[in-house]
Amino acid sequence: MIEAQNLSRRYGDFTAVDGISFSVREGEILGMLGPNGAGKTTTIRMITGFLPPTSGRVTVDGKDLFESPRAARRQVGYLPENVALYGEMRVSEYLAYRARLEGLSRAEARQAIPVALERCLLTGVRDQVIGTLSKGYRQRVGLATAILHNPRVLVLDEPTVGLDPRQIISIRELIRELGRQHTLLLSTHILPEVDLLCDRVVIIDGGRIIAEGTPQSLRESWTGNPSIRVVLKEAPADAGEALGRIPGIVGVAPLEEGAWRLECERGADNPVDPREEVFRAAVANGWTLLELARERGATLEDIFVRLTTHDAAAAETAPQAAGTPLPDEPEVVS
């Protein structure tokens, strides 16, 4: 549905986007991931036709954005990062204005407006003045205008930024719902969102695509050896060394007091599971085993941080800088 070929955008000497190519297939939800300032918004603005690219081209549904801009734009619904609305208008009036702007006839608008209100759960505030609405509602008004003309493609730039957790959940549900009927391009720097919503991901940093694939395939390609977390009660000093001698363990990393991460050998087909051995070793040595759990492989967050970290200092701050509200406990899968 969307084909971006070799898109570049320079602002003076600064190259914001540097030769990005990707495509969004019909019916899929593509997530565009990247730290702040990676070039996501610039890329999105080029795809929606707001910014002309310095070089490269974009087609939407086969229509070139600069040769036939109006036909191409008609197929796109766009929710920008900052949803700017006209504060003095009522919600339904604003939608009527947008419908006219999109070229809908009166009859079409009469049909489309209640549908958009309904789908974005705005029916209750349809007569309210936009200036009095909360941020979450405004975001939904923005979404309602994006779907008003029933475009085949929706482009959403950080749709959940600045919302409270409950609003985030409701907007995400709405996005998932919209994803069933539209092709969706979603930009975000919030990682769980990608895992939850997207069929495919492109990771952008420094204006280039640095990784691309399904969340699953990205995770697999970046996962290192499987590991086990062990916690012992009143462990002797040499316990770590003893753990390292267990067959199947290739590395031992001490964590907090009495806890270790054991890196396991990776078998060709079936990963070795040395938990039994660890248990036996504990019994043999008389350790009290408090915890023994297999750790999940790399999360998208790990991959993201690894890919987008340029130096050691940045490594410390990267997760915060990327604004990832992730639990810092690794998830335990037994």
Partner 1 sequence: MNGTLATYFRELRAYFFSPLAYIVLFFFLVASGFIFVYIVSQLNDPRVAGGGPPLGYFFQATWLILLLLGPLLTMRLVSEELRSGSIEVLMTAPVTEGQVIAGKFLAALTFYAFLWLPTVAYGLMISAYEKVDWGPVAAGYLGVMLIGSLFLSIGIFASAMTRSQLLAAMTTGALLFVLFLIGIFEGLVNNDVAKKAFNYVGLFNHIEELSNGIVDTRRLVFYLSGTLFFLFLASRALEDKKWR
Query: Which tokens go with 34?
Result: 């990247």
Q: In whole angstroms, what is the distance from residue 282 CA to residue 182 CA? A: 55
The piece of 43-51, 110-118, 207-215, 228-236 that touches partner 1 (CB under 8 A) is: 43-51
Q: How far is the CB of 209 from partner 1 (least distance, A)?
A: 23
Q: How far is the CB of 70 from partner 1 (least distance, A)?
A: 4
Q: Which is nearer to partner 1, 103 or 267 (CB)?
A: 103
- If one asks whether residue 98 binds partner 1 (CB under 8 A), the answer comes out as yes
Q: Which is nearer to partner 1, 42 or 324 (CB)?
A: 42
Name the nearest CA neighbour of 213 among 33, 67, 76, 66: 33
Q: Which residues contact 64 (CB under 8 A, 6 or more apart)?
A: 57, 58, 72
Token look-up 């008004």 returns: 141
Q: How far is the CB of 87 from partner 1 (least distance, A)?
A: 9
The piece of 66-74, 111-119, 254-262, 300-308 that touches partner 1 (CB under 8 A) is: 66-74
Q: In whole angstroms, what is the distance from residue 65 CA to residue 46 CA? A: 9
- If one asks whether residue 76 binds partner 1 (CB under 8 A), the answer comes out as yes
Binding map of partner 1 across residues 132-161, x = CB under 8 A, - = no contact: ----------x--x----------------
Phi, psi of 243 (to 5 degrees): -60, -35
The piece of 17-25, 67-75, 262-270, 311-319 that touches partner 1 (CB under 8 A) is: 67-75
Q: How many CA atoms lie within 13 A of 153 on its CB side?
A: 26
Strand partners, 60: 2, 63
Strand partners, 29: 184
- Binding positions for partner 1, rule: CB under 8 A: 11, 45, 48-52, 69-71, 73-74, 76, 78, 80, 82, 84-86, 88-89, 93, 97-98, 100-103, 142, 145
